[in-house]
Amino acid sequence: MNCIEVNEKMADLFDNSISQELKDELFAHFRECPDCRKLYDEMSGVMTELQPRVTINASRNLHTRILDQAIQTGNPYQARRIRILPMLSPTWKKVTAIAALLAVLFILFPLFNHPGWVQNNANAANTLLGKSITALTDVKSVYMEFTVRTLENENFEYIDMNAGFVGHKLWKVFGNPSKWRIEKPGRTVVMDGKNQYLYISGPMGFALIGDADRGSVDWMKILLDPGKILQTEKDFAARNEAKYQVVEEGNDIILTVKAKAMGDFRNTYALNKTIPESNNRRVYTFDKSTNLLKSLEVYIEANNKEIGILQLTTIKYDETIADSKFVITLPANVKWVPFDRLINDKNAGLAGISSEEATKRFLEAWQKEDWKTVDLLMPGFMNSIDVEQVKHEYGGLKILSIGKFFKSGQYPGEFVPYEVRLKSGTIKKMNLALRRDNPGKKWWVDGGF
């Protein structure tokens, strides 16, 4: 390679895609030619000089801000508003804006409060209800993908408005019996027509088997029966502090439910931890021609703004779903344990003491590595997937403090604040969740460890 050719290829040395062969050839030339070597060194010097000496990164909340706006922008109401107004002249904008305001006042206010509008709304709802039930009788299966702001491995109901979106999938085959499956990273639940199976992966995970009606998917069960959504929501609104509205827009029928956070929030710990424990707005869109559900968005209201928390991203009807979808194949070292071993075990739990005392005994058992007591207070502990790893990690912990119990949200038990230091030096400051809604009124640990 001569100097002219080297100069032509020099730029390639500053690109990561250069081949090793070309690189070797150029450097071989530099060893023979001080002028080309000097040029290369000087070019490298310019590269170094132009490199920023400071790291510019996006703010930590930028992605949350963008996703919130993306969800808001995806909202059919807002999208229409954005498209219509810029086409009008300023005068018409004012007129339209006033008309829109009046329309909103006429529609929303009476709809939720005026008996006549409730009646009309109820009629629309009843019509939709009848149609959607008819539509679903012909549907053989449904497949959904939806994203939820939550944490992987947490239960299906848990939400976290500061977390990223976690993908969920749902399969349902309608029939006699019906079968379904819902999964998210770290957690899968299957109902095969007879039993419900819940598999939680990870060292503290479980593989549980129980009867078909076990409530492992909490609020999400509404999605398992898309044809009953309106009925379920109507019943819900009748029983709770919630309002619903059914409107027709173009080819869509939109059901909006606004619900107040349910539970006791004198302590706000559980506020916004689940959809029912949040002030929320659920927007379901049904296709007017087929009456089938086509989208769902759930927003929660927190800190004076709405945050998108759940969005249905895909829904497909009558796809062929293999029967194998309704079977969970466990890793070789994991065995199915009956649900009852966890929650109805007559030997589990401790009666006649306070939740704080139960917390003390539970944490002391970890401190002393008294596994029998740990299993007594956290039934099923010995059936954890990797019990030895859990023992190694948490055994011998040091109790730093145990606080006063409190109640929050809809949780039927009590929360007890505690702080411990693990052998690794990690300090954990959490709230232990204990409940005793069992015949023996015995406290056992339900979560928060």
Binding site for another protein (CB under 8 A): 7, 10-12, 14-17, 39, 42-43, 45-47, 49-54, 56-59, 62-63, 65-67, 69-71, 73-74, 145, 147, 164-165, 167, 311, 313-314
Is 238 in contact with 230 (CB distance < 8 Å)? no
Indicate the residue among 167 and 177 with the shorter CB distance to another protein.
167
Indicate the residue among 17 and 333 with the shorter CB distance to another protein.
17
Strand-pairing partners, residue 253, are 248, 286
Minimum Å gap between C-beta 13 and another protein is 10
Indicate the residue among 57 and 89 with the shorter CB distance to another protein.
57
Is 125 in contact with 236 (CB distance < 8 Å)? no
Q: How many Å apart are CA 275 and CA 269, to the nearest integer? A: 14
Is 174 in contact with 139 (CB distance < 8 Å)? yes
Indicate the residue among 74 and 263 with the shorter CB distance to another protein.
74
Give me 133's structure tokens.
Answer: 């039930």
Indicate the residue among 311 and 408 with the shorter CB distance to another protein.
311
HEC-encoded secondary structure of 332-377: CCCCCEEHHHHHCCCCCCECCCCHHHHHHHHHHHHHHCCHHHHHHH
Give me 253's structure tokens.
Answer: 């029928």
Minimum Å gap between C-beta 22 and another protein is 13
Minimum Å gap between C-beta 427 and another protein is 28
Minimum Å gap between C-beta 73 and another protein is 6
Q: How many Å apart are CA 324 and CA 326, to the nearest integer? A: 5
Burial 126-157 (b: 16+ CB within 10 A, else e): eebbebbeebbeeeebbbbebbbbbbebbbbb
Is 190 in contact with 180 (CB distance < 8 Å)? yes
Indicate the residue among 7 and 268 with the shorter CB distance to another protein.
7
Is 444 in contact with 353 (CB distance < 8 Å)? no
Indicate the residue among 165 and 244 with the shorter CB distance to another protein.
165
Minimum Å gap between C-beta 190 and another protein is 22
Indicate the residue among 307 and 390 with the shorter CB distance to another protein.
307
Indicate the residue among 296 and 402 with the shorter CB distance to another protein.
296
Alpha-carbon 104 to chain mean position: 32
Minimum Å gap between C-beta 20 and another protein is 16
Minimum Å gap between C-beta 336 and another protein is 31
Nearest to 150 by CA among 278, 266, 259, 241: 278
Prior bond to 331 cis, omega within 30? no
Minimum Å gap between C-beta 144 and another protein is 12
Nearest to 299 by CA among 276, 281, 275, 279: 281
Minimum Å gap between C-beta 167 and another protein is 5
Q: What are phi and psi for residue 17, nearest 5 degrees?
A: -90, 5
Indicate the residue among 15 and 21 with the shorter CB distance to another protein.
15
Own/partner long-range contacts of 362-371 (Cβ < 8 Å, ≥24 apart): 362/432, 362/445, 362/449, 363/397, 363/399, 363/402, 363/418, 363/420, 364/399, 366/394, 366/395, 366/396, 366/397, 366/420, 367/396, 367/397, 367/398, 367/399, 369/395, 369/396
Give me 87's structure tokens.
Answer: 């086409």
Q: How many Å apart are CA 205 and CA 193, to the nearest integer? A: 24
Minimum Å gap between C-beta 296 and another protein is 12
Indicate the residue among 62 and 88 with the shorter CB distance to another protein.
62
Strand-pairing partners, residue 259, are 242, 280
Minimum Å gap between C-beta 184 and another protein is 12
